[in-house]
Amino acid sequence: MDSASLIPFLIVVALSLALIVWLAGGPVFKERRRRRLREQPFPAAWRRILRKHVPAVQRLPADLQLRLKADMQVLLAEKPIIGCAGLKVRDEMRVVIAAQACFPLLGARRGYYPKLQQILLYPGAFAVERVQAGPAGLQMAPQRQALTGESWAQGQVVLSWQDVLAGAADPQDGHNVVIHEFAHQLDQVKGFANGAPPLHSTPAYRRWSAVMLAEFNALRQRLASGQPAGLMDAYAATDAAEFFACSSELFFERGPELAQQHPALYEQLSRYYRVDPISWS
């Protein structure tokens, strides 16, 4: 083969190799790998951890329990959990986090939090510095805050193990830091959080916006007039993104009460998550 014909040949070979590499790491290969992970037997040790620490799993119908466990195996295979401040991550921690993180995935395939790269786990509440805006938009000196969880659009979820465990222990108190932060991840998949995760159509966005805005404004008005927040946590009035995350906690943990007191909000969350927690009670 002369040099003139060798160059096109090498180009074809290179392109073919590139295609093979892309297919090996692309959507088809990824879904096959995930299917194999979902089909693996669920470890008996993990079952014991769930029974001990995540009683919410026992409330699920049998088919959803199986789906949750299958999704956990994929999530734990793809998302590393890294201990911080000297914490050594144990299987118990990984299983408890994954179980709660998979609740928002029960009704719809959402790519296993595609923007999430890693989960950072602290022993307890962790300190961060925040710059607060003062009068006329002037920036004030950074202030230290103690947080139990945080979700970053850049691909990290940060959690306090103490609060992860506490949130799992009581599945009906309406407070769950893992569900809260992973709801933020669903919202942040578009690169930022605004309380409107990706929906399937323009009419769906219109309905979502109308209901969420009405509920959000009603909460802020109650608080401004000195009334109690009611079922909703007052923190939900911070902004639209926090309202969605706090509402998600209530949806999965106190669904019947949310449906009774805020039926339009419950309906929107049920449409989005494609599950009906009322049927789990």
37 and 167 part of one domain: yes
pLDDT reported for residue 57: 97
Lookup: tokens for 85: 């401040």
Q: Write the CATH number for 84.
A: 1.10.472.150
166 and 216 part of one domain: no
pLDDT reported for residue 9: 58
Range of the domain at 271: 194-281
pLDDT reported for residue 14: 54
Cα–chain center distance at 4: 55
72 and 161 part of one domain: yes
- Residue ranges of alpha helices (H) inside 138-236 are 161-169, 177-188, 202-224
pLDDT reported for residue 2: 56
Is 7 inside any structural domain?
A: no
Q: Are strands 126-130 and 143-147 parallel, antiparallel or unpaired?
A: antiparallel
DSSP E strands, 9-117: 81-83
170 and 235 part of one domain: no
50 and 91 part of one domain: yes
Ranges in the chain, pLDDT < 70 = 1-25, 129-144
215 and 102 part of one domain: no
What is the reported pTM?
A: 0.86
170 and 267 part of one domain: no
Provide the number of structural domains found in the chain: 2
The Cα 223–Cα 229 span in angstroms is 6
pLDDT reported for residue 12: 59
Q: Kindly report, residue by residue over 133-145, the tens digit of the pLDDT.
A: 555 555 555 666 7
pLDDT reported for residue 21: 47
pLDDT reported for residue 5: 58
The Cα 187–Cα 32 span in angstroms is 27
235 and 104 part of one domain: no
